[in-house]
C-alpha cells in the first residue's frame, strides 16, 4: 500500500523516490553543512561506523522522539566509536534551533536539495525525507538499510545491530 501511495505521489509530482542503494555497495560520499554551518564530509569518518538517519522535519513529534532516543543512547554509540548523523532537508538554522531546544547531542546535517537523501534511496515527499536509516561500516560501505523506521525503536535497533557486528 505504501509503495502504491508513493508511486501515486510521484506521478502527481509530489514525491521523488531515490534509486535504491544496496547493502554492500560503496557509500555515497558527501559533504554537507552541520547545525553549526560547518562542512562535514563522510570521508572524515573512514575507519568508524557511521549512522545516517533521515527524518522528515525537525521539531515534529516523530522526529523529536527519534532524536531524543538517539541522544539517550549516544554514550553507548560513542563508546563503540560510532558517529550518528541526523539528516533532513531542513535549513542549518532550523536544525540548530531544534538541537538547542531539546538539548540534543546528535549532529544534524542539512541536505536542502535532498541530493544525499536521493543518493541513499530515501524517498522525498513534497520535499521531506522518508524515515530511513543507513548504517555505514568502517570501510565506507553500506552495511545495513532500514526503510520506513519507527522513530522510537530505530535507535536501539541500530545500536544492537552495530554491537553484534563489533563483537563478531
C-alpha–C-alpha distance, residues 32 and 82, integer Å: 19
Average pLDDT, the chain: 89
**What's the average model confidence in pLDDT over 146-151?**
94
C-alpha–C-alpha distance, residues 15 and 12, integer Å: 8
CA neighbor of 124 nearest in space, from 8, 1, 4, 9: 9
Determine which one of 63, 92, 104, 124 is catalytic: 63
pLDDT attached to residue 88: 96
C-alpha–C-alpha distance, residues 49 and 56, integer Å: 23
pLDDT attached to residue 126: 81
C-alpha–C-alpha distance, residues 115 and 113, integer Å: 5
Position 19 confidence tier, pLDDT thresholds 50, 70, 90: low
Which residues 6+ apart lie within 8 Å of 13 measured at CB? Answer: none
**What's the average model confidence in pLDDT over 146-163?**
96
**Is residue 129 flagged as an active site residue?**
no
More confident residue, 16 or 157: 157
pLDDT in tens, 45-56: 999 999 999 999
C-alpha–C-alpha distance, residues 63 and 37, integer Å: 21
Which residues 6+ apart lie within 8 Å of 160 measured at CB? Answer: none
pLDDT in tens, 62-93: 999 999 999 999 999 999 999 999 999 999 99
pTM over 0.75: yes
What nine digits make up the cell of 18? 531515490
Helix and strand numbers, DSSP H then E, in the chain: 5, 10
Residue 7 in this model has a pLDDT that exceeds 80: no
CA neighbor of 149 nearest in space, from 65, 40, 73, 78: 65
Position 125 confidence tier, pLDDT thresholds 50, 70, 90: confident
Residue 153 in this model has a pLDDT that exceeds 80: yes
User: What domains does the chain contain, in order, with CATH numbers?
Assistant: 14-167 (3.40.30.10)
Amino acid at each position: 500500500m505504501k509503495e502504491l501511495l508513493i508511486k501515486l505521489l510521484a506521478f502527481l509530482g509530489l514525491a521523488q523516490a531515490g534509486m535504491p542503494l544496496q547493502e554492500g555497495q560503496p557509500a555515497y560520499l558527501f559533504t554537507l553543512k552541520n547545525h553549526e554551518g560547518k562542512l562535514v564530509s563522510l570521508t572524515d569518518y573512514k575507519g568508524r561506523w557511521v549512522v545516517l538517519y533521515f527524518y522528515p522535519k525537525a521539531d515534529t513529534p516523530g522526529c523529536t522522539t527519534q532524536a531524543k532516543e538517539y541522544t539517550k543512547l549516544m554514550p553507548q554509540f560513542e563508546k563503540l566509536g560510532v558517529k550518528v548523523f541526523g539528516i533532513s532537508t531542513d535549513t542549518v538554522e532550523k536544525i540548530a534551533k531544534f538541537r538547542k531546544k531539546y538539548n540534543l547531542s546528535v549532529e544534524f546535517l542539512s541536505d536542502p536539495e535532498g541530493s544525499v537523501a536521493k543518493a541513499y534511496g530515501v524517498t522525498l515527499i513534497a520535499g521531506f525525507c522518508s524515515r530511513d536509516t543507513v548504517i555505514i561500516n568502517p570501510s565506507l560501505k553500506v552495511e545495513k538499510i532500514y526503510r520506513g523506521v519507527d522513530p522510537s525503536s530505530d535507535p536501539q535497533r541500530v545500536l544492537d545491530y552495530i554491537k553484534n557486528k563489533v563483537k563478531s
